[in-house]
């Protein structure tokens, strides 16, 4: 799995089985829509399985997936507890201006005046807009709202996010 670490993204966890035909229940770390997955990587500790997905569908708060070779409830129950990964390249393209969180994590944040703020370590979902958690050079976490008046440009190719500092965004303007 270590060889594929940069190519894979964690998308959920197998939390059980559904029915007698071996569908597994995947608790997704995202929306519950039908996924374009053809292949998933299941990992638990050092044990990794590469599985072919023959079908999947949303059901309540989980995704039900049929896995080739796991055609009954008993066999499929062996997969409970595994983390579910997919290749990043298999994820659907998003509309312009939308990004997967993994694309933003690790990006450098700078002001529109060229001052370095820090690096995005995670993204918080708040309902109204996302918030980027940015760690500065001193190790302090700053919260940057992903709002139109703050985010000026996101360039995945260069790994930079340009922001416009609005009053109160940073603890003390002198520390930049």
Class of domain 101-168: mainly beta
DSSP codes joined into one string, 113-162: TS-EEEEEEEEEE-SSSEEEEEE-TTS-EEEEE--TTTEEEEETTTTEEE
Topology of the domain covering 2-90:
Elongation Factor Tu (Ef-tu); domain 3 (2.40.30)
**pTM of the entire structure?**
0.69
Measure CA of the first residue to CA of the last residue in the chain; give whole Å.
Answer: 39
Q: Where in the chain is the domain with CATH 2.40.30.60?
A: 2-90
pLDDT tens sequence for the chain (176 residues): 555 657 899 999 999 999 999 999 999 887 767 788 899 999 998 999 999 999 999 999 899 999 999 999 999 999 999 999 999 888 888 888 888 888 899 999 999 999 999 999 998 888 788 899 999 999 999 999 999 999 999 998 899 999 998 887 777 654 44
Give CA–CA dist 176/173, Å, rounded. 6
- Which regions of the chain carry the CATH code 2.30.30.240? 101-168
């Amino acid at each position: 799995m270590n060889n594929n670490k940069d190519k894979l993204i964690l998308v959920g966890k197998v939390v059980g089985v559904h029915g007698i035909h071996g569908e597994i229940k995947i608790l997704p770390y995202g929306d519950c829509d039908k996924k374009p997955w053809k292949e998933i990587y299941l990992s638990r500790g050092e044990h990794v399985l590469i599985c072919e997905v023959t079908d999947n569908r949303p059901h309540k708060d989980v995704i039900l997936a049929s896995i080739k070779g796991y055609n009954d409830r008993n066999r499929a129950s062996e997969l409970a507890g595994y983390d579910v990964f997919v290749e990043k390249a298999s994820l659907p393209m998003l509309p312009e201006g939308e990004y997967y969180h993994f694309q933003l994590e690790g990006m450098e944040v700078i002001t529109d005046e060229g001052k370095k703020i820090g690096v995005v370590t995670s993204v918080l979902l708040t309902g109204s807009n996302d918030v980027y958690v940015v760690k500065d050079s001193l190790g302090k976490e700053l919260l940057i709202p992903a709002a139109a008046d703050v985010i000026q440009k996101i360039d995945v190719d260069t790994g930079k996010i340009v922001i416009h500092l609005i009053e109160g965004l940073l603890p003390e303007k002198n520390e930049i």
